[in-house]
Amino acid sequence: MATINKKRKVDCEGRRFKDGWKLDYFFTEVRNNCVCLICKETVAVFKEYNVKRHYQKLHAAMYDKITGKERSEKLKQLEASLISQQQYFARARESNENATKASYEVAALIAKHSKPFTEGEFIKDCVMTIVKKICPEKQQEFAKVCLARNTVARRIEEVSSDIKRQLRDKGREFDFFSLACDESTDASDTAQLLIFLRGVDNEMNVTEELLDLRSLKSQTRGTDLFSSVCAAVDDMQLPWNKISGIITDGAPSMTGERSGLATLISNKVSEKGGNAVKLHCIIHQQVLCAKHLQYKHVMKPVIKTINFIRSRALCHHQFQQFLSEIHAEYGDVVYHTDYHTMAQSRFCTVALLLVDITKHLNALNTSLQGPDAVISQLYSHIKAFGTKLKLFERHLSQSQPNTAHFSALQEIMTRFPQSNVASEDFAAIEKEIAIFSSPFSVDTDDVPDHLQLELIELQCDAESRSRHQQLSLANFYRQLDKDRFREI
């Protein structure tokens, strides 16, 4: 009991290092430890008796004869030696840490680009070759970066685990989140279910991540998909009552009224006290619209011709030479290409019309993708495209079709020169003034062709309409997205 009380008393004394010990006993303080500058040993307690006893027992015979200015210089030398030693170990530790960080980052790049794990060794060989030529003195540091196959595999697993941990931590802060599911088959004919997560917290910070990738070894019924989604959600410890929506493609196993994935998830969310909206993926919707285009009679001979050219070396070589002679925009033709040089005919007209429509569909597809997209923005793109289709229909149904928005079709249509009458009278530019001052109220049929598509996009954008009402005209155009509304 006496021993315990004595230890507690020493711990509570609050002893501190005294500056006088430096010159008297050649001691200093390092990270709350009393360290001898001569032998680098540590004294357990900040107590002058202990410090003095250590000095007199080990160093007094040699250092007591050093006095005055000479003793001060000796103290500076010993302190400098200790600092140098500390920096050496610090640099060594920092070098090892940097090598480990580099190994992790290279492993992450290998995983990101879907490269084999053995690529790490090849990358290191390349780096070492460069280092030997440019900075040979750094070879030892670069050699510390371990990129062996097993190391890369272990690094990727650790990075994956850390990402899951971060996502699990963020998931606890979600006020609501939605799930998007897409099922496809890989190269080995194994069905893969991709589950995407989008969550938002009370600060309106949005998180978008791939929640999980689940292999479906047997069947792909709605119940099988539901089991995989349940396992992914429970594994990340996400609360079911915070699911606000489930988005799927049009597959029957996804959208079945009774046993479809969306219905099963919605039912479970209801049981947990929540309410999940079932939605069809907006990108899949526009793909379904594209399938309504009846173009098999055009695509079949086009694909057959292209495959004929590519499957025969001589034909392929002659075709490339032909393209070179006519200075074609494309230097070659690929399998299943939708566009190639054809003579003017009805078949050609339909084919080129298809090319132009496909370009517009591709532009729509691109606008529906990307991070941080809000549903109102996506819907405005779909809404604008519907209005564009009506405009296209009106243009092409005229006795003299207007091909302003069909560049490929325009190449084979007869062009009539238009005379532009210039006038400095304001009445002559009254229409342009109206477009500029009231872009949301003008009829798209009454504006120049090069402005029509952008004007439709602008009129369908609720945020831009609101800013037009609130801001002055100059400020409205000043903040307008110049990349999206380049012509306007």
- What's the pLDDT tens digit per position in 360-387? 888 888 888 877 777 778 788 888 988 9
**φ, ψ for residue 15 (rounded to 5)?**
-70, 145
Q: What integer pLDDT is reported at residue 11 of this predicted model?
A: 45
Asked if 188 contacts 196 with a C-beta cutoff of 8 angstroms, the reply is: no
CA angle 384, 388, 391 (to 5 degrees): 145
**φ, ψ for residue 218 (rounded to 5)?**
-110, -105
Q: Tens digit of pLDDT for each residue in 115-171?
A: 898 888 999 999 999 999 898 888 888 888 889 989 999 999 998 889 889 888 888
Cβ neighbours, 10 Å, residue 314 = 8
Minimum mean pLDDT range among 10-14, 124-128, 198-202, 317-321: 10-14
Segments making up each domain of the chain, as ranges: 15-87, 174-183+190-280, 296-396
Q: What integer pLDDT is reported at residue 178 of this predicted model?
A: 92
Q: What integer pLDDT is reported at residue 370 of this predicted model?
A: 77
Q: Tens digit of pLDDT for each residue in 441-457?
A: 888 888 888 899 999 99
User: What percentage of residues in the chain have a pLDDT greater than 70?
Assistant: 84
Cβ neighbours, 10 Å, residue 299 = 14
Residue 409: name the closest of 358, 453, 339, 356 by CA: 356
Q: Once rounded to an integer, what is the mean pLDDT over residues 215-243?
A: 89
Q: What integer pLDDT is reported at residue 329 of this predicted model?
A: 55
Q: For residue 258, is pLDDT > 50?
A: yes
According to DSSP, the β-strands at 33-36 and 27-30 are: antiparallel
Higher pLDDT pick, 364 / 350: 364
CATH fold label, 174-183+190-280: Nucleotidyltransferase; domain 5 (3.30.420)
**Structure tokens that stand for 60 in this block:** 């007094």
Q: What integer pLDDT is reported at residue 90 of this predicted model?
A: 64
Minimum mean pLDDT range among 10-14, 208-212, 226-230, 252-256: 10-14
Residue 253: name the closest of 241, 244, 264, 261 by CA: 261
Q: What integer pLDDT is reported at residue 229 of this predicted model?
A: 92
Q: Tens digit of pLDDT for each residue in 428-438?
A: 567 887 888 88
Higher pLDDT pick, 375 / 287: 375
User: How would you write the chain as a 3-class SS string?
Assistant: CHHHHHHHHHHHCCCCCCCHHHHHHCEEEECCEEEECCCCCEECCCCHHHHHHHHHHHCHHHHCCCCHHHHHHHHHHHHHHHHHHHHHHHHHHHHHHHHHHHHHHHHHHHHHCCCCCCHHHHHHHHHHHHHHHHCHHHHHHHHCCCCCHHHHHHHHHHHHHHHHHHHHHHHCCCCEEEEEEEEEECCCCCEEEEEEEEEECCCCCEEEEEEEEEEECCCCCHHHHHHHHHHHHHHCCCCHHHEEEEEECCCHHHHCCCCCHHHHHHHHHHHCCCCCEEEECHHHHHHHHHHCCCCHHHHHHHHHHHHHHHCCHHHHHHHHHHHHHCCCCCCCCCCCCCCCCCCCCHHHHHHHHHHHHHHHHHHHHHHCCCCCCCHHHHHHHHHHHHHHHHHHHHHHCCCCCCCCCCHHHHCCCCCCCCCCCCCCCHHHHHHHHHHHHCCCCCCHHHCCHHHHHHHHHHHCCHHHHHHHHHCCHHHHHHCCCCCCCCCC
Mean model confidence pLDDT for the chain: 80
Return d(Cα 305, Cα 341) in angstroms, integer.
11
